[in-house]
């Protein structure tokens, strides 16, 4: 142990602990901007400086470790003056139009400038913006970038895609898309992890809320919304609701109050996905075609973009099932449109997703009789949803639980857990077991594929006489490592679930941002809690899904199901 004093408090911590960690473990918070535990500990911002007795120069606390006998001050006059100066310099290179910034109220730079009582900007310069394609789902505003390097490190170390890099030198150094490319030419997966780790508003999703307001105001349009499983775990964080208060029924109420005509839960079409993908897997599995193994899940568009750019030769191994978002859109514009007597072109489909890549996925086309368009018209992130609620001046405390609309009202716990890594696999195994043996398993029988925080999980599952070798992975760096092992023949799997975001959609790039705090695990536990308390926990028992087959699609993998619910990833 190392003994030292911080702010006159004697403390003792293990050797190798950073000063910042030592302070934090003892209830002393040191402000920071660029620091991300284990990922970005490079003291780029210099906000975390502290004063050390006997040393003229201040030292940064995130990348210096404690030494025996150190006497440190985290908030001395010298520290405060230096910190103010540093933050003023950062502000001089930042577009400080906070009133019109998407991160206003949730910006680390804004908070620290307020905390330090900075009321003047002595070094303010005119900023030029790097050009950016505003149609791309991910937007970067270079005039807000504070060069903290978090985006570079998250993309390199966690997602292994190296989309961002530093360019220029000295005072002209700035972050941009690497190798001089435009963002649309890069291999960006649109996972949005750079957005959720940006301390300011330099990175954000394309804002599509106006398109939804227009559709709501258009008398000819019937607006139909779906809410993804993971959204319910996070939306309340932005509106001051506790986890218990922030129910999915209240999101349905909010959407109706915004003017949306019909509201559904994506968990319904997650159940539908299981019927299609589960049957597809059993068909591929029982044919014994080892060369097309493993079959990969296809519901995460971040992963689809990744496999297409990094491993195009593996694309034929993807399930052909569309994602629940796209399946639901197709069902809304056909089965549901017919049931309410509205032409598909007058149905406007909106999905509320924890995801930025879903905005890209919605470009996928739907051809249906006379209609050629999109399954999903607009995708809003969880953050955009909460901004719409705020802009309509709806107090979160006034929201009440509201039921989903009929025809696609029912959903099961198996559909709900789609939003957490391992959930798609667990739901598929529950139904595969039934399809093979004719009996339901214990709904808790397949917990071996659940997340333990490591990012990769594998299990051998006995189903009837067969053993299914399953693997589950989240995070694209973890995925790259797993695919290397598969390709080197070190591991063999029949079925692999991949989610681009660490922890699955609960940790999605469209979720509510908490500076540097990872909430994916907790949010995932919330979905497991909801699953445990659902009356139905098997996708094949969803009565509205069964009715959809009986009245419209005939059976899983039927011709009609193929036309509406599957896609050709090679196209």
In the bound complex, what is the minimum distance in angstroms from residue 190's beta carbon to ligand SF4? 7
Q: How many whole angstroms separate alpha carbon 298 and alpha carbon 364?
A: 13
Q: Is 324 in the site for ligand HC0 (CB under 6 A)?
A: yes
Residue labelled with tokens 């170390």: 157
The three-point CA angle 16-18-23 to 5° equals 125
What part of residues 250-309 is at the interface with ligand SF4 (CB under 6 A)?
Answer: 300-302
CA dihedral 433, 436, 437, 439 (to 10 degrees): 50
62 and 48 Cβ atoms separated by less than 8 Å? yes
Q: How many whole angstroms separate alpha carbon 194 and alpha carbon 48?
A: 22
Collapse the DSSP code of 9 into the 3-class scheme (helix H, G, I; strand E, B; otherwise coil) and give the result.
Answer: strand
Using the minimum distance from each CB to ligand SF4, give the nearer residue, 109 or 427: 427
Using the minimum distance from each CB to ligand SF4, give the nearer residue, 36 or 505: 505
Which of ligand SF4, ligand HC0, none does residue 270 bind to, with CB < 5 to 8 Å depending on kind?
ligand HC0
Which of ligand SF4, ligand HC0, none does residue 266 bind to, with CB < 5 to 8 Å depending on kind?
ligand HC0
- Among residues 70, 471, 499, 519, which is the contact residue for ligand SF4, using CB under 6 A? 499
Q: Is 325 in the site for ligand HC0 (CB under 6 A)?
A: yes
In the bound complex, what is the minimum distance in angstroms from residue 505's beta carbon to ligand HC0? 2
In the bound complex, what is the minimum distance in angstroms from residue 351's beta carbon to ligand HC0? 7
Binding map of ligand HC0 across residues 209-228, x = CB under 6 A, - = no contact: -------------------x
Stretch that binds ligand SF4, among 73-81, 326-334, 502-510, 550-558 (CB under 6 A): 502-510
Q: How many whole angstroms separate alpha carbon 26 and alpha carbon 232?
A: 34
Q: How many whole angstroms separate alpha carbon 24 and alpha carbon 21?
A: 5
Per-residue tokens: 371: 């209609």
Q: Is 419 in the site for ligand HC0 (CB under 6 A)?
A: yes
**Nearest position to ligand HC0, beta carbon:** 505
Per-residue tokens: 433: 């077991």
The three-point CA angle 523-525-530 to 5° equals 100
What part of residues 36-55 is at the interface with ligand SF4 (CB under 6 A)?
Answer: none
Residue labelled with tokens 């399809």: 435
Q: How many whole angstroms separate alpha carbon 109 and alpha carbon 122?
A: 17
Binding map of ligand HC0 across residues 333-372, x = CB under 6 A, - = no contact: --------------------xxx--x--------------
Using the minimum distance from each CB to ligand HC0, give the nearer residue, 275 or 424: 424
Q: How many whole angstroms separate alpha carbon 303 and alpha carbon 194?
A: 16
Listed residue (230, 103, 108) closest to 511, CA to CA? 230
In the bound complex, what is the minimum distance in angstroms from residue 355's beta carbon to ligand SF4? 3
What part of residues 233-272 is at the interface with ligand HC0 (CB under 6 A)?
Answer: 266, 270
Binding map of ligand SF4 across residues 342-371, x = CB under 6 A, - = no contact: ------------xx-xx-------------
Query: Which residues, in sequence order, are CB contacts of 264 under 8 Å at separation 6+?
Result: 224, 225, 226, 227, 328, 332, 404, 405, 408, 409
In the bound complex, what is the minimum distance in angstroms from residue 189's beta carbon to ligand SF4? 7
Q: Is 423 in the site for ligand SF4 (CB under 6 A)?
A: no
Q: How many whole angstroms separate alpha carbon 165 and alpha carbon 331?
A: 42
What part of residues 269-288 is at the interface with ligand HC0 (CB under 6 A)?
Answer: 270
Element (H, E) at 225: strand 222-227
Q: Is 424 in the site for ligand HC0 (CB under 6 A)?
A: yes
Stretch that binds ligand SF4, among 135-143, 232-240, 369-377, 494-502 (CB under 6 A): 494-502
Using the minimum distance from each CB to ligand HC0, give the nearer residue, 212 or 420: 420
Site residue total, ligand HC0 (CB under 6 A): 20
Listed residue (439, 407, 256) closest to 336, CA to CA? 407
What part of residues 185-224 is at the interface with ligand SF4 (CB under 6 A)?
Answer: 191
**Kind of pairing between the strands at 378-381 and 347-353:** parallel
Binding map of ligand HC0 across residues 484-513, x = CB under 6 A, - = no contact: --------------------xx--x-----
Kindly report the number of other CB atoms within 10 A of residue 554's CB atom.
12
Collapse the DSSP code of 499 into the 3-class scheme (helix H, G, I; strand E, B; otherwise coil) and give the result.
Answer: strand
Listed residue (414, 428, 438, 446) closest to 531, CA to CA? 414
> Which residues are near ligand SF4 by CB under 6 A?
191, 300-302, 354-355, 357-358, 499-501, 504-505, 508-509
> Which residues are near ligand HC0 by CB under 6 A?
228-230, 266, 270, 299-300, 323-325, 353-355, 358, 418-419, 424, 504-505, 508
């Amino acid at each position: 142990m190392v003994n030292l004093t911080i702010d006159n408090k004697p403390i003792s911590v293990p050797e190798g602990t950073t000063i910042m960690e030592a302070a934090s473990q003892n209830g002393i918070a040191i402000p920071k901007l660029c620091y991300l535990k284990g990922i970005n500990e490079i003291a780029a911002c210099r906000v975390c400086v502290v004063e050390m007795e006997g040393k003229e120069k201040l030292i940064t606390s995130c990348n210096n470790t404690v030494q025996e006998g150190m006497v440190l001050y985290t908030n001395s006059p010298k520290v405060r003056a230096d910190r103010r100066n540093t933050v003023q310099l950062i502000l001089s290179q930042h577009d400080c139009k906070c009133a019109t910034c998407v991160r206003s109220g949730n910006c680390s730079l804004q908070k620290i400038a307020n905390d330090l009582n900075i009321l003047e900007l002595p070094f303010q310069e005119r900023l030029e913006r790097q050009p950016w394609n505003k149609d791309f789902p991910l937007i970067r505003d270079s005039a807000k970038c504070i060069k903290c390097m978090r985006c570079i490190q998250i993309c390199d170390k966690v997602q292994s895609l190296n989309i961002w890099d530093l360019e220029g030198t000295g005072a002209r150094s700035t972050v941009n898309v690497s190798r001089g490319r435009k963002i649309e030419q890069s291999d960006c997966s649109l996972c949005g992890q750079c957005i959720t780790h940006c301390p300011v508003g330099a990175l954000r999703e394309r804002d599509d809320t106006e398109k939804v307001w227009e559709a709501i105001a258009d008398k000819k349009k019937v607006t139909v919304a779906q809410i993804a499983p993971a959204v319910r775990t996070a939306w309340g964080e932005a509106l001051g609701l506790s986890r218990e208060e922030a129910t999915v029924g209240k999101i349905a109420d909010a959407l109706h109050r915004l003017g949306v005509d019909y509201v559904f839960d994506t968990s319904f079409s997650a159940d539908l996905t299981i019927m299609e993908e589960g049957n597809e897997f059993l068909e591929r599995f029982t044919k014994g075609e080892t060369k097309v193994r493993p079959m990969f899940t296809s519901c995460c568009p971040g992963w689809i973009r990744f496999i297409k750019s990094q491993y195009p030769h593996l694309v034929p191994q993807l399930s052909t099932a569309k994602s629940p978002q796209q399946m639901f859109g197709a069902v809304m514009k056909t089965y549901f449109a017919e049931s309410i007597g509205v032409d598909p072109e007058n149905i406007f489909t909106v999905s509320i997703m924890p995801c930025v890549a879903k905005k890209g996925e919605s470009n996928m086309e739907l051809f249906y009789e006379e209609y050629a368009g999109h399954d999903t018209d607009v995708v809003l992130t969880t953050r955009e949803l909460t901004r719409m609620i705020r802009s309509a001046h709806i107090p979160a405390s006034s929201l009440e639980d509201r039921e989903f609309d009929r025809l696609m009202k029912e959903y099961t716990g198996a559909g709900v857990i789609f939003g957490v890594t391992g959930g798609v696999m667990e739901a598929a195994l529950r139904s595969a077991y039934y399809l093979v043996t004719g009996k339901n398993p214990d709904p808790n029988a397949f917990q071996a594929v659940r997340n333990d925080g490591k990012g990769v999980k594998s299990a051998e599952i006995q189903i009837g006489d067969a053993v299914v070798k399953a693997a589950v992975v989240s995070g694209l760096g973890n995925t790259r490592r797993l695919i290397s092992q598969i390709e080197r023949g070190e591991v063999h799997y029949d079925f692999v679930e991949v989610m681009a975001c660490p922890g699955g959609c609960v940790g999605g790039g469209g979720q509510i941002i908490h500076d540097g705090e990872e909430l994916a695990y907790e949010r995932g536990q919330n979905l497991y809690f909801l699953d445990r308390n659902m009356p139905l926990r098997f996708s094949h028992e969803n009565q509205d899904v069964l009715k959809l087959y009986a009245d419209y699609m005939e059976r899983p993998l039927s011709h009609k199901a193929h036309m509406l619910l599957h896609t050709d990833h090679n196209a």
